[in-house]
Structure 1
Amino acid sequence: MYQRSNPPAFSAKDSAIHLLSRRDHGEFELAQKLKLKGYSEDEIAQSIAFCIEHRYLDDLRYAKSQVRQHVYKGHGARRIYQELKQKRVAEHTIEIALEEEGTDWFELAKSTAEKKFKGKKAQDQKEYAKQVRFLQYRGFDFEQIQYALEEL
């Protein structure tokens, strides 16, 4: 991983607060950004602890924000879960965020399919398989996909 050779101009805490003032970050993501700026592990740990203590940094709030963004894009729970896991958000936190968002995944799959396929049912098996793959890629499970494609 790339690290600067010259020392950072601001404290790790100031940099963390500056990053968080622009948008929410997860703990891991913030730590990675601070590491890239050249801060020591100890400085990073202290600044993250400070941000958590003062509620500037909250993985649940971050996860909920990510869930809302992905739902807006028409992504299903599986895709959202995977993306948050890649950002090292705890499974329990992801589950709470998905549950509290209260999205009807069946209806989201249906609206995503309607938007993509313009309300047209597949004419043959090949086209149907293509539609299924698209919705799988978007993160919907088979029951949701089946519902969405039957409702077209």
Structure 2
Amino acid sequence: MFRNASKSLTTSDEVYEYALSLLDRREHGEKELVQKLKRRCSSSEMIRETVAKLKEYDLLNEERYARRVFESWRARKVYGRLHLQAELIKKQVSEAYIPVILDMLSEEEESWRVQAAYRQIAARRDKKYDCTTEKGMAALARYFSARGFGPSMIRLGLALAKEEAGTVWQEK
């Protein structure tokens, strides 16, 4: 029914059906859904009614959406807490849920993630990240920072790199 993207929605039923079709494809946050509905419907009142109805039937649930964004992010194993925070903001997760979701990421899991990030970069054997040189350590620190790791996790990653570099030199 809603294949024609240029068709304007004029009734509450059409707005509701369109919202259901959007939610059928994937979970949406309230802000994102409202933005998409505004593209097709000029009536703020119909959009408000639709959102209220979707919330009433628990078809639009901000907490569930925030958790879904977190699980999707968690599947990518080489990113840190700051990257998660940026992802939540980018996906327009309600500000009330951002601290709750960030608390779900333990320090232990983040340290595992920085180790995974180091192992990924070490597997490349790129001389740019040679941790026996000051320049290589700086490049490695930038690598961790770009993936959303904070100072304590960057120090952990650099310590791991130094430790493994010492092991490699001892084996030779």
- Give the TM-score range, shorter chain: 0.7 to 0.9
- Which residue identity lines up with residue 132 of structure 2 in the other structure? Q
After superposition, the CA RMSD in angstroms is 2.4
Aligned to 2:61: 58
Contact residue 7 and residue 38 of structure 1 kept, 8 A: yes
* % identical equivalent positions: 26
Does residue 129 (structure 1) correspond to residue 138 (structure 2)? The answer is: yes
Counterparts of 1:2-151 in structure 2, within 5 Å, are: 6-8=7-9, 11-73=14-76, 74-100=78-104, 102=106, 104-118=109-123, 122-151=131-160
Higher relative contact order structure (alpha carbons within 8 Å, sequence separation ≥ 6): 1
How many residues are treated as equivalent by the alignment? 149
SS at 2:132 equivalent: coil
| Distance change >3 Å, CA 8–CA 54, structure 1 → 2 | same
| Distance change >3 Å, CA 92–CA 51, structure 1 → 2 | same
- Which residue identity lines up with residue 122 of structure 1 in the other structure? C
TM-score by length of 2: 0.75
User: CA deviation digits over 1:114-147, x for unaligned, max 9?
Assistant: 1123286623122222221121121110101211
TM-score by length of 1: 0.84
Aligned equivalents of 1:40, 1:131: Cα separation in 2 = 52
In the TM superposition, structure 1's runs of 4+ consecutive aligned residues that sit over 3 Å from their partners are 100-103
Structure number with larger C-alpha Rg: 2
